[in-house]
Amino acid sequence: MNIKLYIYLIIFITQCQAKQMEYNKLTEFEEFVIINKGTEQAFTGKYNDHKEKGIYTCKQCGTKLFKSEHKFNSKCGWPSFDDEIEGTVKRVPDKDGRRTEIVCANCSGHLGHVFKGEEYTDKNLRHCVNSVSINFTPSIDKKKIDTAVFASGCFWGTEFYLKKLKGVISTSVGYIGGFKQNPTYKEVCSGTTGHAEAVEVIFDSKIVSYEEIAKLFFETHDPTQLNRQGPDIGEQYRSEIFYFNETQKKIAENLINILKKKGYNVVTKLSKASKFWIGEDYHQDYYDGRGKPYCHVYKKKFGI
């Protein structure tokens, strides 16, 4: 074999294996359906009668497959869709030559079968899909999207806990509360910019409240330590809440008062949010695949 061709082949196989490793881990039954092309029992799937607005995605790889407006009630016992998101669903003739299988165009995971000519809808098409082959992401009401910023020592550990809270849409680590424009990590660590290492949290207030997030903030660091957190010492590691409005400020003040009544000498500062500077890429989601933080430990402080 040509050596160059051999090298390209090795690279291709390696890339395919790496891509496979990114797929979601499946249960035994999910593998039976998605990998081995099995079928779940009719009327048993969680999405058969599902009517919420949002996007249906591939269980194995996360590819967006169907919109909620594509879904209709065919009374067949499985979720039915009369359309798909363009380019996401692949059709494969069954070996028996009678039916047409549908698979995820990205990972080839088995979804179900497609049927034409049944006249259920004007599109005259039915994607008959196993609930176990898909996940669902609800539509986000942009009016309910809110932002919060917290500083509690090394931003790696702060993000680790806050991003796991249900209702949190995204998190970013960065710098806030200083006077230098667009500071670097090295500059912040020098202690000369006035910034704190912090985490910006974008969340859906229909699912999680600001108070719930603030409680987790207090419960995952020691708010009694001044300008430090564990072994990390310096003003950039201070405990501080950067509020965006009076409601957030009052919630934070109330939680601090509760902790003080419990005997905690809270030194957490409250400041009006200023410009949040996004940190370098290598700091984002730092603890993904790296275990737990070395300086942040969860400790319940607010009771039930």
Active centre residues (catalytic): 128, 154
Beta strand spans in 18-140 (E): 54-58, 64-67, 71-72, 80-81, 89-93, 100-104, 110-116, 125-129, 134-138
Strand order in the sheet with 54-58: 64-67, 54-58, 134-138
Token pair of 147, please? Answer: 């932002």
Q: How far apart are CA 246 and CA 266, in angstroms?
A: 20
Token pair of 237, please? Answer: 């590691």
Q: Are 64 and 55 in contact (CB under 8 A)?
A: yes
How many Cβ atoms sit within 10 Å of the Cβ of residue 243?
Answer: 20
- Exposure string (b/e) for 122-151, b if CB count within 10 Å is 16 or more? eeebbbbbbbbbbbbeeeeeeeeebebbbb
**Residue 204 CA: distances (Å) to CA of 38, 287, 292:** 36, 23, 25
SS3 content of the chain, % helix, strand, coil (to 5): 25, 25, 45
Residue 180 half-sphere exposure, CB side, CA atoms within 13 Å?
A: 16
Q: Are 103 and 109 in contact (CB under 8 A)?
A: yes
Q: How far apart are CA 267 and CA 251, in angstroms?
A: 16
Token pair of 74, please? Answer: 């065919």
